[in-house]
Structures are given as C-alpha cells and as structure tokens.
Amino acid sequence: MSSLCPFANAARAGDRCPRKVVENHDKHPAAGSDNKTDVQRNNSGSVSPKCPFGYDSHTFKLGPLSCMICKALLFDSSQCMPCSHKFCKVCISRFKDCPLCGADIEKIEPDSDLQAVVDRFIEGHARIKRSQVNKDLNEVGDEQKNVIYEDVSLERGAFLVQHAMRAFHARNFESAKSRLCLCSEDIHEQLERLGNATELCSQLGAVLGMLGDCCRAMGDSSSAVSYYEESVKFLQKLPTKDLEVVHTLSVSLNKIGDLKYYDGNLQSARSYYAQSLDVRRDAVKEQPNVSTQVVDVAVSLAKVADVDRNLGDENVAIDGFNEAIKCLESLKLDPTETNLEQRRHSVLEFLHNQLAEKQSPIPTASV
C-alpha cells in the first residue's frame, strides 16, 4: 500500500472552521433579533475548541479508543483477561503476554460495548465535512445537530485513510479494509451528487487500489483483482498528464497482471502488463524529463518480456529486455537522486541476469 494519502493534495479552499463561521455570524446579527438568543442557538452545536480525544488536523494522540499496537482506532475491540487491557482482536492475538503490563493472557474476550462507542465516534467524526457545516447548521434543528469542533479533525476521507494506513502497516488488514470501505462509500455518494469530478475519481481510484492491497494481503486474490479493476475504471477517466494518476493507474494494472501471473494465466497477465507499459510510455512522451517515469517504463518492459519468455517467445523477450536496458543506460540522473539510482541499478542487474540465462523455449501448447 502506498504511504501517500490520496487526500493529501485535496483542495482546501472551501474549508472553513465551523466555529469561526458561527462567530462571524454572531458579529452581524439580523436586525431586530435577540443577540443573546442567537448566540446561544448558534453555539448549541459547538463545544470546546479541540476534539476531546485529540483527533485534530495538527496532532494525533493515542487515546481510550485507540489500539496501542496498531496505533489506529480499535477494530473488533477485545480485552485481555485478567488484566482487562483493550486492543484490536487481530493485534492482540499475536501475543501471549499483555504488551502493556506484561501479564499472562489467559483468554481474550470481545468488548462489544467499547466497539459500539468507537463506531459511533467514527461515524460522527469522520462524516463531518467542514465545507458543508454552515449549510448543515441551517438545515437541521438544534436537537438534531452534530457536535462540531473548532478544528474538525481531517476531511472525512483523510481521517479514514489515516487510520487504514496505520492498521495496514501493523498488518491489521481487516481494520484497514473496514475503514477504506467506509471511505469508498463516502466518495461514491459524492460522485452520485456531483458527477465524475476529477478529484473525486482520483481519490476513489487510490482508495480502491488500497482496498485491493488489503484483499491481496488477506489472500483474497479474486476480490483484490475486482478492486484493482474498479480502480483502473475510475483512473482511466482522468487526464494522464497528472503523474500521480499515471503512477496509480499503471501500478493497479501491474498488480492485476501480477495476480494473473501467479494464477498461471500468462496471456491475461501480459495484457495487463502491456496496458501498464502503454500508460507509462505515453507519460514519458508527455514529460520526457521525469526520470522516475523512465525507470517505470523499464520495469514494465521487463514484466512483459518475462511473460513472453514464459510463453515461449524467447526472441521477443530478449528484445524487451534489451529495450529496457537501453532505457536505463541512457538515463542521466542528478547526483542527489540516490534512491532512484539504487532502483535503476537494481533493475539493470535483474535485466542483465535475465539476458545471461539460457532458457529453452517453452512450447505454447504446454502453457
């Protein structure tokens, strides 16, 4: 899973602090209105400046609703017995002793009450969208208003993805998938209202790719392919001049190819690898001076050539490996691009090893 949040570059121009919106409104009350009454009514949906659990846009605190192992909000909350410390079920199941107090874990019991609190917190916290707060305040009655904090955490998508990424890196894939599914549902709802907005399609494509990563890590290849294919569907609607879109699209295509390859479906794998190669070649034509794109093209050439070799097309495979080598050897990197140079060297080493191998053609009928 990518370490980049797909919401990191989301436009914030329309975001405003809901408490400040209320305060500005208070400074200019309507003629003839009771100032005191208006202030009380407008502030009824506001509470203290910060979220009491520390989930704001500048800090992240591990609180009573967090798992101390994966550092994300609890999922499938469970408590160790007899010490009663609480963790995600998947996280604590890997331990024999409580990681907080060191006590022997005699058994693990579900804590459905705590999980219900976590779920309500996520629902309330993650579904507040700051750009819509002012509108919401005018549309609902006082008794129905959501609690609104001065610094409303993050945009709901970023909030959910943040916790999904934390859980994924801690190998709590069920938790990550759950948060990403919520995020995907939210974006789908926005797409239904707003149409195929470029930013939403980009975000959804990235989130669906992450869902594919979760399913793949859980061993569910079929669902992983479905998510990757849906990711591709949305990303293909976007202009390929955006390097982030190009990268996410080509990676999703390659991941489908990988799963088809491991499943033994070489023709299908080659088709997806070739699509990824086409996307990357087009990107290089548009922006030939982007070094990372050139390396990506070489990687795609290597993937296609590897399948060609396994399909028995040795001459075609050798041509592909040689083309990839030519791309990388002609690439001039800045001395500061050390990580990219290491990657280039690694791919070159792989390609030369492939050419050094003398593999007899495999009869097509036996594949």
Could you tell me if residue 357 is inside a domain? no
| Cis bond upstream, residue 82 (ω within 30) | yes
Strand residue runs (E) in 60-201: 77-81, 86-88, 107-110
Question: Residue 89 maps to which CATH number?
Answer: 3.30.40.10
Could you tell me if residue 171 is inside a domain? no
Could you tell me if residue 77 is inside a domain? yes
pTM for this entry: 0.74
Q: How many domains does the chain have?
A: 1
Could you tell me if residue 168 is inside a domain? no
Give Cα separations from 72 to 61, 251, 357 (angstroms). 10, 26, 47
Could you tell me if residue 145 is inside a domain? yes
Tokens 């570059």 sit at which residue? 9
Three-state secondary structure readout of 131-172: HHHHHHHHHCCHHHCCCECCCCCCCHHHHHHHHHHHHHHCCC
Could you tell me if residue 262 is inside a domain? no
Closest CA to 73 of 213, 187, 178: 178
Could you tell me if residue 104 is inside a domain? yes
Domain that holds residue 108: 43-153
pLDDT in tens, the chain (367 residues): 765 555 555 433 333 333 333 334 444 444 444 444 444 444 434 334 455 555 554 555 667 889 999 999 999 999 999 999 999 999 999 999 999 999 999 999 999 999 999 988 887 765 544 444 334 434 444 444 444 433 343 467 778 888 999 999 999 999 999 999 988 988 888 888 887 788 888 889 999 999 999 999 999 999 999 999 999 999 998 887 788 889 999 999 999 999 999 999 999 999 999 999 999 999 999 888 889 999 999 999 999 999 999 999 999 999 999 999 999 999 988 889 899 999 999 999 999 999 987 554 443 333 3
Helix axes 198-217, 243-262, angle to 10 degrees: 30
Residues forming beta bridges with residue 362, ordered by sequence position: none
Could you tell me if residue 123 is inside a domain? yes
